[in-house]
């Protein structure tokens, strides 16, 4: 019996040994793939961790501490009105317009507070998929038909996937609904308007700090981009005032925490990320050293960061090793992908869905990538399939979802996305 227990660790040790023993170091493709994984990880750290993920962690931590469980159950719980629950989940995810990794802390926050599996899954898909700017960019660069198909498909997907997740795991959802009957109505400690303003400022910081540069130097989008850091600064100032007035954070702590970001903004205006990073560090110190809700907020934020960040970075490294960065190759040659996604066969649509589901796309990069693939002969159906599966999923995303929902639910969620993207691509390719 004792030997039987030791077989698994022995097999793992042997497998790791053989992997290192036969490691193809020195072969150009392997060496290049290793570099691509590091390049992608560096790009991810520079472009997404500081400005996207960390604000999302703070929002998720705030959801866990300041949003009452009864409120989540009322609008997104297993017993909530289905029209209201799925409407709220799809609209809120779409309004945030975040990438597949940034939505994860927010999803973990509402799911941990008791949101039903269906609405939580709808939110998980809608956040990165229903990105208004990405849809507009798709219509302008890849054609109006594909842009409209992406918009309609993403909205329908978020609701249908949520409903199917609820149906597949309906027994567990019924048990959750029964358990939620016993949840007492909490005492309201802060008016709804205060919580709404508090979350609005944090979402504003997340949205405007990541406001993308438009191609045309004119119009409202360009004007907002030119003022993005000023708007972000005013949102941060509003958040600081709320913390002192509503959360009893000493004003002198916030003042000292604000000095380094302001100084960096004045001394190095060409590097606003430095000021943003200093503000994050200052806010973390203030919250961690202030008794009460503020310390709970920081502890919850740190809990989400510990759970999610290592898996995301590991997933980015693996994704870069296999598929490389956009426009570069990993272990899998890009020529294989181009050859497999031509025409409108079931296999072409399925392959595009699977590649999209596993490949990591930074926000908006899927459009120029698809432009190149279409120029290389990619069919319209597979193009839509990749657009519907790619932004909402990635290998890093799957690893984190698994840690939150478990193997069965993650497998079903990924399978639903791939199958629906494949079917949608087939239908679209046949019609157009």
Q: HEC string of 283-319? A: HHHHHHCCCCHHHHHHHHHHHHHHHHHHHHHHHHHHH
- Give residue-wise pLDDT tens across range 56-104: 889 888 887 887 666 666 677 766 777 778 877 777 766 665 666 777 8
Asked whether the predicted pLDDT for residue 415 surpasses 90, the reply is: yes
Please tell me the distance from the alpha carbon of residue 208 to that of residue 283, in angstroms, as a whole number: 18
- d(CA 76, CA 92) in angstroms, rounded, equals 11
Domain boundaries, the chain: 50-178+190-249+290-431, 251-289
Cα gap 409→264, rounded to integer Å:
45
What's the rounded Cα separation, in Å, for the pair 404 and 385?
26
Mean pLDDT (whole number) for 241-266: 91
| 293-323 vs 272-288: helix crossing angle, rounded to 10 | 140
What's the token pair of residue 386?
């990749």
Write the DSSP assignment of 163-199 as a string of letters.
HHHHHHTHHHHHHHHHHHTTPPPPPP-S-HHHHHHHH
pTM beyond 0.85, yes or no: no
Of 115-119, 286-290, 294-298, minimum mean pLDDT range? 115-119
pLDDT at 376: 63
Comparing 20 with 134, the larger pLDDT belongs to: 20
Within 13 Å of residue 301, how many CA atoms lie on the same side as its CB?
Answer: 21
β-sheet bridge partners, residue 342: 378
pLDDT of residue 274: 92
Predicted confidence (pLDDT) at residue 1 exceeds the cutoff of 60:
no
Distance, first Cα to last Cα, the chain? 62
pLDDT of 374 above 80 = no
Residues forming beta bridges with residue 378, ordered by sequence position? 342
What's the burial of 12, exposed, middle or buried (CB within 10 Å: 0-12/13-18/19+)? exposed
Please determine, for residue 182, whether its predicted confidence score (pLDDT) is greater than 60: no
| 135-162 pLDDT per residue, tens | 766 777 778 888 888 888 888 888 899 8
């Amino acid at each position: 019996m004792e030997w039987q227990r030791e077989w698994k660790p022995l097999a793992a040790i042997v497998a790791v040994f053989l992997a290192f023993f036969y490691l193809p170091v020195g072969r150009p493709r392997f060496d290049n793939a290793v570099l691509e994984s590091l390049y992608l990880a560096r790009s991810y750290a520079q472009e997404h961790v500081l400005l996207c993920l960390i604000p999302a962690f703070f929002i998720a931590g705030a959801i866990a501490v300041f949003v009452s469980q009864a409120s989540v159950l009322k609008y997104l719980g297993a017993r909530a009105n289905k029209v209201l629950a799925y409407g709220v989940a799809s609209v809120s995810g779409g309004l945030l317009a975040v990438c597949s990794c940034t939505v994860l802390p927010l999803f973990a926050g509402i799911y941990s507070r008791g949101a039903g599996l269906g609405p939580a899954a709808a939110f998980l898909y809608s956040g990165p998929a229903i990105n208004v700017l990405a849809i507009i960019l798709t219509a302008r660069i890849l054609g109006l038909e594909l842009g409209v198909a992406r918009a309609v498909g993403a909205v329908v997907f978020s609701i249908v996937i949520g409903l199917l997740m609820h149906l597949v795991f309906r027994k567990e959802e019924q048990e959750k609904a029964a358990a939620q009957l016993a949840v007492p109505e909490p005492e309201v400690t802060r008016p709804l308007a205060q919580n709404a303003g508090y979350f609005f400022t944090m979402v504003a910081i997340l949205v405007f700090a990541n406001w993308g540069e438009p191609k045309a130097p004119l119009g409202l989008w360009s004007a907002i981009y030119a003022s993005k850091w000023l708007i972000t600064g005013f949102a941060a100032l509003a958040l600081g005032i709320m913390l002192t007035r509503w959360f009893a954070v000493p004003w002198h702590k916030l003042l000292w925490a604000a000095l380094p970001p302001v100084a960096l903004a004045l001394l190095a205006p060409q590097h606003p990320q430095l000021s943003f990073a200093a503000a994050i560090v200052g806010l973390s110190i203030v919250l961690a050293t202030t008794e009460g809700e503020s310390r709970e907020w920081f502890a919850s934020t740190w809990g989400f960061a510990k759970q999610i960040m290592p898996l995301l970075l590991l997933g980015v490294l693996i994704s870069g090793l296999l598929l490389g960065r956009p426009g570069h190759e990993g272990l899998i040659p890009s020529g294989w992908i181009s050859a497999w996604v031509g025409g409108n066969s079931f296999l072409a649509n399925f392959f595009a869905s699977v590649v999209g589901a596993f490949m990591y796309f930074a926000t908006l990069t899927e459009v120029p990538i698809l432009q190149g693939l279409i120029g290389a002969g990619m069919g319209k159906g597979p193009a839509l399939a990749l657009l519907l599966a790619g932004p909402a999923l990635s290998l890093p995303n799957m690893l984190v979802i698994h840690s939150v929902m478990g193997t069965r639910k993650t497998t079903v969620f990924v399978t639903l996305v791939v199958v629906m993207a494949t079917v949608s691509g087939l239908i679209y390719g046949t019609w157009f």
